[in-house]
Structure 1
Amino acid sequence: MAKQISQETQNEAMKVAKATQKPSQTKEQTKLIAQGIEKGIAEYKKQQKAKARGRDKQRKQDLKAKSRQETSEIEFIAEAPTSSPKFPWILLAASWVGFLIYALLNGNLNI
């Protein structure tokens, strides 16, 4: 189950190990230090990938929630106008009745 560590990571770990090498340190000790650094880098990368997946998952959940909220708002808005379609017709009828009354009282209408 051990994964291969990339050559770039190995080179980077060896550079760090050599940079911190003490004069009395053997090559084997330096290699062991480099291996420890490699494992640390690999663990760090694994953690960063897990965090990125978590952020991506949260972002997708937020988008879905926002989409559901917008959909429910659109449905609510679409339902509102259907409750009073009679009002414009009542106003139209009232204006015609008012016009007829005005015309009859002034004698302008010949019926």
Structure 2
Amino acid sequence: MAKSISQETQNEAMKVAKATQKPSQTKEQTKLIALGIEKGIAEYKKQQKAKARGRDKLRKQSLKLKSQQENTEQEENIIAHPSNAKLPWILLVASWVGFLSYALLNGQ
């Protein structure tokens, strides 16, 4: 456990232990208190990391769900408006009919 605790955390724990030290307290007792504080800090950091992972997981799920909904809406829009796909072909045929009728009428 001591290897996973950073030097900064150990120093901070020792400062807190010395700040709350009683006059009759020995150095050994102060070190034991500092170790308890270190463990508390390490546990707190673990909990915060777990909460952050949980929030990140929820955020990713939310983004994934949102993109799936957008894709579904886009597909529904394409299916709902099939007449838009026919419009260019209708205009092309109409322009050719107009061109041919103009060419035939002016050619005679």
TM bucket by the smaller chain? 0.7 to 0.9
Matching residue's letter, 1:13:
A
1:1-111 residue pairs with structure 2 within 5 A? 2=1, 4=3, 5-82=5-82
Q: Tell me how many residue pairs correspond in the alignment.
A: 86
Cα offset, 1:83, TM superposition = 5.7
Cα offset, 1:81, TM superposition = 1.4
C-alpha change, 1:3 and 1:52, in structure 2 (3 Å) is farther
Q: Percent of counterpart pairs with the same letter? A: 76
2:45, 2:23 → 1: CA distance? 31
**Structure of greater Rg:** 1
How large is the RMSD of aligned CA atoms in angstroms?
1.7
More helix by share: 2
Structure 2 equivalent of residue 99 of structure 1 = none
Stretch of structure 1 that moved more, 23-32 or 74-83: 74-83
Cα offset, 1:58, TM superposition = 0.5
Q: Deviations over 1:49-82 (max 9, x none)?
A: 0000000011000000000000000000111111
Q: Secondary structure at the match of 1:23?
A: coil
Runs of 4+ in 1 over 2 A off after TM superposition: 83-86
Q: Report the TM-score when normalising by structure 2.
A: 0.74
Matching residue's letter, 2:80:
A
